[in-house]
Amino acid sequence: MQKKDSVAVYFVRAALYGLRDNPQRRAQLLDQAGIAEELLDDPRARVAATQLAKLWLAVAEELDDEFLGHDSHGMPLGSFALICRGLIQANNLGQALRQCLSGLGLFLRDIRGSLSVRGDRAVIRLHNRQPDPQARSVAEEIYLTVVLGLLCWLAGRRIPIDRSQFTHPRPAHGDDHLFWGPNLTFEAAHSEIEFAASYLELPLVQNLATLKTFLRTSPQWLIVRFSNRQGLSA
């Protein structure tokens, strides 16, 4: 297996966070996804991206939470699709982004995102009240991956991140610069990402027909940022 077709076991542990008090069910879902439980204790281990996708879906269904337990309220099954259906009618990417942040705010209680435009720069800042440090850092990664994945899909192109900073320490997976760009800071005063504001003016190239296909491929919209970074960069 090539490295680009696999993901760090860090993300497997992140997917299982909501089942931390149910080891029996956690073991069953790992087995169904074809992931050996002993790999969780090896920080260097990697698993196939397809295995993580299968596990992600199974945990979301088990918890009835598409945010996998990283928020005190969470996102019941179908929340993501509901948000997407609202975005598809937006006039441009900036309007879609604002609607996306607002839509996520209807479900999530601990983490919120806000958009500001500073000259020619667009900044998404996170406001996170999650008290558990483990859930806090993963919640921010998931949140921003969902938002950025949607933006790239709606625009039909990659939106490059020019600057990123997070309040939490550097994650153990070590692939952070591949997700968030080279201009990256940890243990900052607040978490935010920055990109060129000109992207907010882009028209949406997707429609209801392509949305149906997009939703059927979930959670590849998330896993792609974990698995094939070379393809994403290209």
Nearest in space to 147 (alpha carbons), one of 76, 92, 83: 83
Model confidence band, residue 223 (pLDDT cutoffs 50, 70, 90): low
Q: What is the dihedral of CA 69, 98, 122, 230, to 10 degrees?
A: 50
Residue with tokens 């029996």: 24
Tokens representing 230? 């070379």
Model confidence band, residue 1 (pLDDT cutoffs 50, 70, 90): very low
Tell me the residue type at 57: L
Tokens representing 151? 């933006």
Model confidence band, residue 228 (pLDDT cutoffs 50, 70, 90): very low
Q: pLDDT tens, 146-159?
A: 999 899 999 999 89
Residue 99 CA to residue 122 CA, distance in Å, equals 15
Residue 140 has what pLDDT?
94
Residue 224 has what pLDDT?
56
Total-model pTM: 0.89
pLDDT for 94 beyond 80 = yes
Q: pLDDT tens, 123-135?
A: 999 999 999 988 9
148 by Cβ neighbours in 10 Å (0-12 / 13-18 / 19+) ranks as buried
Model confidence band, residue 226 (pLDDT cutoffs 50, 70, 90): very low
Domain ranges of the chain: 89-224
Tell me the residue type at 220: Q
Helices and strands per DSSP (H, E), number in the chain? 10, 7
